[in-house]
Structure 1
Amino acid sequence: MFWLNGEPADSVSLTDRSFQYGDGCFTTMLTRKGQIQHWSKHIERMDACLDALLIPRPNWSQVEQWLTLAVREDDKAGLKLHISRGQGGRGYSPTQVGTPNVTISAFPFPSDYEKWTKTGIELGIANTRLGHNPLLAGYKHNNRLEQVLVKAEMDQQALRDGVVLDIADRVIETSMANLFWVKKDKIYTPDLSYAGVSGVMRRVILQQARDAGFECEIGHFHLDELLSAEEIFISNSVLGVAPIHTVSSTPFNIGRITKRIQEMIDS
């Protein structure tokens, strides 16, 4: 079931700015028994992107009421919240555009995710490189063509996902998740100032890891630094944390720090 501004719907207008230009942003949330996890952090990330795009913020109390209409009562499930600038306007100009459109969809918890969190997954290394766009880096805006190309490349190799570098050959993320790795009990994750998406779960992990006394470094790293790690894991809001057991034929152990981070975010 899909919802548009609180009403059941199965389509949007051809003049919607998201369809025409990718003009909007979205976030994907985990629900547990009907309760949205980290809702306030999802609002923060949406507000930051909306402000960057000069799109008016919605009434979040109203949006939360709409979400309750769509949420599944399963033990675990997903919700996608998508905001478009609205309908109308001529060309790129955002003038003469109606009020923002809020679309919501619910989906079952992906069947593979439970297995991935326990046994880990294999990553390839994508040839597709992310361009630099500091104006929009970190935000989950509605134009995700680079990620589509990465995922298509991984599909051709029969891999679930892959490590993605930027045009400066620095490690950034995967097509669907943020990347972390561990060396000598220190946690590393890429700087996303020029490319990539700063996920809600990434923020949760960094906050909880630091609160637990782990040293965390955000920086610019190359592939050899990732491949020399002792542990690697990925994260997103629905998946949580999944260990990586292989990157392009290089094996990795599912280590104690990865397991500790999983315990922390699931508690």
Structure 2
Amino acid sequence: MATVWVNGQVSEQISVSDRAFTYGDGLFATMAVDAAAQIPFLSYHLQRLQDGAARLGFHWQASAALMSLLAQAASRFPAHCLKLQLSRGTGGRGYTPPVEPQVTEVLSVSTLPAHYSKWRQQGITLQTSVVTLAKQPLLAGIKHLNRLEQVLIKRYPLPAGIDDWLVLDTDGKLVETSMANLFLITKTAQGGWLALTPAINYAGVSGVMRQQVIMALLAMGIDVQLQAVSRDCLSRVSHLFISNSLLGIVDVTAVDHYRYQPWPLSSQLRQNLAIQL
């Protein structure tokens, strides 16, 4: 049963001169297939890839053939993960990209990590990573193929009882975890809720689920602020949760020596997002 396609054909091979291999010159999206064999927020994933390609300086748009392949893969592999990788292809001289690139598309299928269900039920604990993210506004937000910072973060074994790393930038501002976006929740002076999420202007990935969460929170009447968030803010908020397209929404119960209770509206937020992972 095929689980990898290159440019629409069953294959696990690309050219050794492909710029994904030589320079990490490309993008990717990681998408969940739900139990009903649907890909939640597919149009947003594809639009983010298209926008990211434009930021890197090449044109890409999902073809009818790719849309058909995505639908077929989702139908055959419900409750799985689809990863779509785009490369600028081969060509160019050294770092200089080709003028008219032939984009390489790689679609692969994998199982969803079994522990994600437990995380959604019980929450997770985080510890601050010693590895920080460099500030690069030209790449901030997009999910490019250069993931060496994340590789360096994950090189360090997680201590016992810790589920993931919390990651700061080189100025000590909160950015994300090694794999998900971060939301901090606190009460307002009027007794309502305020949600803070780190602005992704200089480092980090602006996830599709993050975008959906922001819209859902606003629809719930909750104020959302995208801003630089200092680490000491961890001592002033009531609740934290993380989000990505495979996890959905997961409460954070601890960061370093700080402890948190699950946010009372997490379940409502999941329902409003219609997440069926």
TM-score range with shorter-chain normalisation?
over 0.9
Aligned in 2, Cα 1:249/1:74: closer, same or farther, shift over 3 Å? farther
Cα deviation for residue 245 of structure 1 reads 0.9
Q: Using the alignment, how far apart are the partners of 2:233 and 2:254 within structure 1? A: 15
Cα deviation for residue 99 of structure 1 reads 0.7
Among residues 245, 261, 266, which one is paired with 1:253 in the alignment? 261
Q: Using the alignment, how far apart are the partners of 1:96 and 1:261 within structure 2? A: 45
- Answer with 231-240 or 252-261: which moved more: 252-261
Q: After the TM superposition, which residues 166-181 of structure 1 pair with which residues of structure 2 at under 5 Å, given as runs?
A: 166-181=169-184
2:107 is equivalent to residue 104 of structure 1: yes
Give the % identical residues.
Answer: 35
Cα deviation for residue 145 of structure 1 reads 0.8
Q: Using the alignment, how far apart are the partners of 1:215 and 1:78 within structure 2? A: 32
Q: Using the alignment, how far apart are the partners of 1:137 and 1:168 within structure 2? A: 15
Among residues 212, 215, 221, which one is paired with 1:213 in the alignment? 221
Q: After the TM superposition, which residues 5-16 of structure 1 pair with which residues of structure 2 at under 5 Å, given as runs?
A: 5-16=7-18
Among residues 252, 257, 274, which one is paired with 1:266 in the alignment? 274
Q: Which residue of 2 aligns with 1:81?
A: 84
Q: Which residue of 2 aligns with 1:22?
A: 24
Cα deviation for residue 98 of structure 1 reads 4.8
2:134 is equivalent to residue 126 of structure 1: no
Question: Residue type matched to 2:5 in 1?
Answer: W
Cα deviation for residue 58 of structure 1 reads 3.3
Aligned in 2, Cα 1:152/1:57: closer, same or farther, shift over 3 Å? same
**Does the 8 Å CA contact 2:150/2:178 hold for their aligned counterparts?**
yes
Q: Using the alignment, how far apart are the partners of 2:115 and 2:23 within structure 1? A: 32
**Does the 8 Å CA contact 1:231/1:258 hold for their aligned counterparts?**
no
Give the TM-score normalised by the residue count of structure 2.
Answer: 0.91
- Answer with 168-177 or 71-80: which moved more: 71-80
Q: Using the alignment, how far apart are the partners of 2:142 and 2:169 within structure 1? A: 16
Q: Which has the higher strand share?
A: 1
Question: Residue type matched to 2:262 in 1?
Answer: I
Q: Using the alignment, how far apart are the partners of 1:59 and 1:241 within structure 2? A: 28
**1:47-67 CA-partner distances (Å, limit 9, x unpaired):** 110000112213432221122
Q: Using the alignment, how far apart are the partners of 2:102 and 2:77 within structure 1? A: 33
Give the TM-score normalised by the residue count of structure 1.
Answer: 0.94
Question: Residue type matched to 2:30 in 1?
Answer: T
**Does the 8 Å CA contact 1:230/1:253 hold for their aligned counterparts?**
yes
- Match of 1:129, SS? coil
- Match of 2:171, SS? coil
**Does the 8 Å CA contact 2:58/2:101 hold for their aligned counterparts?**
no
**Does the 8 Å CA contact 1:85/1:97 hold for their aligned counterparts?**
no
**Does the 8 Å CA contact 1:177/1:234 hold for their aligned counterparts?**
yes
Q: Which residue of 1 aligns with 2:190?
A: none
Q: After the TM superposition, which residues 33-48 of structure 1 pair with which residues of structure 2 at under 5 Å, given as runs?
A: 33-48=36-51
Cα deviation for residue 130 of structure 1 reads 0.6
**Does the 8 Å CA contact 1:88/1:97 hold for their aligned counterparts?**
no
Structure 2 unaligned segments of length 5 or more: list them: 188-192
Number of equivalent positions: 266
**Does the 8 Å CA contact 2:234/2:258 hold for their aligned counterparts?**
no
Q: After the TM superposition, which residues 146-225 of structure 1 pair with which residues of structure 2 at under 5 Å, given as runs?
A: 146-153=149-156, 155-158=157-160, 159-184=162-187, 185-225=193-233
2:234 is equivalent to residue 226 of structure 1: yes
Q: After the TM superposition, which residues 227-246 of structure 1 pair with which residues of structure 2 at under 5 Å, given as runs?
A: 227-246=235-254
Structure 1 unaligned segments of length 5 or more: list them: none
Q: Using the alignment, how far apart are the partners of 1:227 and 1:71 within structure 2? A: 42
**Does the 8 Å CA contact 1:89/1:97 hold for their aligned counterparts?**
no
**1:196-254 CA-partner distances (Å, limit 9, x unpaired):** 00000000000111012111111111111023321100000011011111111322101
Question: Residue type matched to 1:85 in 2?
Answer: R
Question: Residue type matched to 1:106 in 2?
Answer: V
